[in-house]
Amino acid sequence: MIVDLHSHTNFSQCGIDTPEELVHEMIKNGVDVLGITDHHYGIGDRKKEYFDILTLLKEKYKDSITIYRGIEIATVNWLEFDRREDISYFDYCLIEHIDHPDSVVNGDVFEYVKSLNLKAGIAHTDLFTYVYDKKIDPYEFFYKLKTNGIFWELNVNYDKIHRFNEHEYVKEFFRNKEYQSLVRDIGVQLSVGFDGHRKEEYKVERVKNACDFLIDNGFNLITKL
């Protein structure tokens, strides 16, 4: 099972491929479940158009791949999402920058997610460092993630747009038995995302290896939203 819940198209300012070009590439790579999650500030006032295109692709390719219609929400104050705007019709959202000093989340990710009225995951964030820095008990925090239905993304990106930098928190999670035990015992939902912006740079083996590890070791990997 290959599940990638973080990808970008030309609806993001940093993406270049059309949604359909991306879908073709994912099918070619054997991806079973794909979440398309363009940046809210890149989509701008084209959210309905974006959603409708993803809906058409979801139906058109349903026999080859499962597609989920997502959106990535920036929380730094200079890119802040206007929470008066309704995005509840999307399948889910990814929230980024919650650990940034200028994040409007202000340390209360649960209240922020509640205000979006949408299934949510926390993207490319070292949550163990986050809770230790804020002096929050990790068990309490991850338990609240579970009970609030918020998932945590393991971002396995490795491409030019990210300067071929790997996320250290992901590498640490895969080797830290204590972290693994806490997350697995609580049953926190986990997702895997390559966070791709160029289809020619996609490395499906990184997604597959991460998904295999989580499935083989009894973690609660999201395969269906």
pLDDT, averaged across the chain: 96
Q: What is the DSSP letter of 159?
A: S
Q: Report the pLDDT value the prediction gives residue 191, as an integer from 0 to 100.
A: 98
Rounded CA-CA distance 70/163 in Å is 25
Q: What is the pLDDT of residues 4-60, one digit of tens each?
A: 999 999 999 888 999 999 999 999 999 999 999 999 999 999 999 999 999 999 999
pTM of the predicted model as reported, rounded to 2 decimal places = 0.96
Query: 68-82 in b/e burial notation, b at 16+ Cβ within 10 A?
Result: bbbbbbbbeeeebbe
Q: What was the pLDDT predicted at 162?
A: 74
What are phi and psi for residue 3, nearest 5 degrees?
A: -125, 120
Q: Which pLDDT does position 158 carry in this prediction?
A: 83
pLDDT at res. 116: 97
Question: pLDDT at position 29, please?
Answer: 98
Q: Check pLDDT > 80 for residue 81.
A: yes
User: What is the tens place of the pLDDT at every residue in 148-207?
Assistant: 999 999 999 987 887 778 999 999 999 999 999 999 999 999 999 999 999 999 999 999
pLDDT tens digits, 103-160: 999 889 999 999 999 999 999 999 999 999 999 999 999 999 999 999 999 999 987 8
Nearest to 146 by CA among 193, 96, 177, 182: 182
CA distance 146 to 2: 22
